């Protein structure tokens, strides 16, 4: 096989999204320091590892990558089949491999919440192995756009958004998250396209856990009324993200179409530019002249369209 294979549709979209995110975040590629990729054996992390090793030559040299598998001691699969599958993938891609067995929850529970306890133990391992003066500079994790949406929903329900805490950071201490602008659907499409082996964690189906409930019940229900809810939530977490900009463009086109339908004529380029500026303006009171002599005003809670005689308002 060629050392630089050409990606399929899903692979091309994923690697371009990753490289754009690194560029926008100001982190130069290819990375020059050794890194870990945290790989559980699930589809998200297996796809991240496979993508980096197969199509990621502009992201990092495979010789600098080690796959890290953490065994939380919850399931027999995480102690046997999963680390072997991750080790096999590492060998296939030319990566290093490291396995760390963590204490079972009953032996180390500290937070009163198993998921939080597991997260804390993972972070302890990351802190021990990676950082500016450690063996590895960064740890890459496979958090993606749907995870961001679930996190925003979780923090909204807990009232944390009032404290300015929104989504998941691209770079948080030594943790890098290349998939933040990639959807779960894209990840699964890549796994199918490339035949990436992976395991399904049964806890992902347990609706007594918030993320499983949000993923399987709450967000699908909201999507029946608001099909773009995941994009909207993820965009809220980071106003500068590609997702947020896409939502903003969609909102702008919707408003343009409404205005054109009301006034019965198209907006010219200057009017469209002015409307775009008004959408980004936080203070109300701006007005835009429309075809036929009417005008569009920005209010505190929305928009007002007036005709030329001001006898009728919409």
pLDDT at 105: 59
My answer on whether 197 and 267 are in the same domain is no
User: 3 lies in a domain?
Assistant: no
Lowest mean pLDDT among 164-173, 179-188, 215-224: 164-173
Confidence of residue 45 (pLDDT cuts 50, 70, 90): very high
My answer on whether 269 and 200 are in the same domain is no
Residue predicted with more confidence, 131 or 295:
131
pLDDT over threshold 90, residue 305:
no
User: 229 lies in a domain?
Assistant: no
My answer on whether 170 and 284 are in the same domain is no
- What is the Cα–Cα distance from 291 to 305, expressed in whole angstroms? 12
My answer on whether 140 and 275 are in the same domain is no
Q: What is the CATH number of the domain that holds 47?
A: 3.40.50.620
pLDDT at 149: 86
Proportion of the chain above pLDDT 70, given as a percent: 71
Confidence of residue 266 (pLDDT cuts 50, 70, 90): confident
What are the helix (H) ranges across 160-241? Answer: 184-194, 210-213, 219-223, 229-237
Q: Print the domain residue range for 270.
A: 263-306
Residue 133 tokens read as 């003066």
My answer on whether 277 and 172 are in the same domain is no
User: 253 lies in a domain?
Assistant: no
pLDDT at 300: 60
My answer on whether 125 and 268 are in the same domain is no
My answer on whether 42 and 129 are in the same domain is yes
User: 66 lies in a domain?
Assistant: yes
- Look at residue 14 and give its three-state secondary structure: helix
For the chain, the residue count is 314
Last residue of a domain, one of 174, 204, 234: 204
pLDDT over threshold 80, residue 267:
no
pLDDT at 98: 96
pLDDT at 217: 85
My answer on whether 285 and 178 are in the same domain is no
- What is the Cα–Cα distance from 291 to 273, expressed in whole angstroms? 15
Mean pLDDT of 125-143: 94
User: 213 lies in a domain?
Assistant: no
pLDDT at 13: 95
DSSP code for 240: T
My answer on whether 47 and 180 are in the same domain is yes
User: 251 lies in a domain?
Assistant: no
User: 231 lies in a domain?
Assistant: no
Residue 65 sits at the vertex; the CA angle it makes with 124 and 196, to the nearest 5 degrees, is 100
pLDDT at 312: 41
pLDDT at 184: 93
User: 232 lies in a domain?
Assistant: no
Confidence of residue 120 (pLDDT cuts 50, 70, 90): confident
What are the helix (H) ranges across 268-311? Answer: 269-280
My answer on whether 272 and 126 are in the same domain is no
pLDDT at 310: 45
My answer on whether 198 and 267 are in the same domain is no
Structural domains counted in the chain? 2
Residue 151 tokens read as 């996190």
């Amino acid at each position: 096989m060629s050392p630089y294979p050409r990606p399929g549709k899903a692979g091309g979209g994923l690697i371009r999204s990753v490289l754009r995110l690194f560029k926008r975040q100001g982190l130069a590629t290819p990375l020059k320091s050794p890194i870990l990729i945290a790989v559980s054996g699930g589809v998200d992390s297996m796809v991240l590892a496979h993508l980096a090793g197969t199509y990621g030559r502009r992201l990092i040299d495979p010789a600098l990558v080690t796959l890290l598998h953490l065994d939380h001691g919850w399931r027999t699969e995480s102690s046997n089949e999963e680390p072997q599958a991750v080790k096999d993938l590492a060998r296939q891609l030319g990566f290093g491999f490291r396995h760390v067995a963590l204490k079972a929850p009953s032996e180390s529970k500290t937070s009163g919440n198993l998921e939080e306890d597991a997260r804390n133990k993972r972070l302890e391992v990351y802190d021990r192995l990676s950082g500016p003066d450690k063996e590895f500079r960064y740890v890459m994790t496979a958090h993606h756009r749907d995870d961001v949406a679930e996190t925003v929903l979780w923090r909204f329900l807990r009232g944390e958004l009032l404290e300015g805490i929104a989504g998941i950071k691209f770079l948080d201490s030594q943790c890098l998250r290349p998939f933040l602008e990639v959807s779960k659907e894209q990840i699964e499409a890549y796994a199918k396209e490339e035949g990436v082996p992976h395991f399904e964690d049964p806890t992902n189906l347990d609706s007594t856990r918030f993320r499983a409930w949000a993923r399987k019940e709450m967000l699908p229900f909201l999507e029946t009324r608001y099909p773009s809810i995941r994009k909207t939530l993820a965009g809220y977490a980071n106003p500068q993200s590609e997702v947020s900009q896409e939502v903003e463009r969609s909102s702008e086109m919707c408003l343009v179409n409404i205005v054109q339908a009301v006034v019965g004529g198209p907006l010219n380029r200057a009017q469209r530019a002015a409307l775009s500026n008004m959408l980004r303006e936080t203070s109300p009171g701006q007005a835009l002249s429309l075809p036929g002599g009417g005008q569009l005003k920005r209010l505190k809670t929305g928009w007002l369209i007036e005709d030329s005689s001001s006898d009728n308002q919409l």
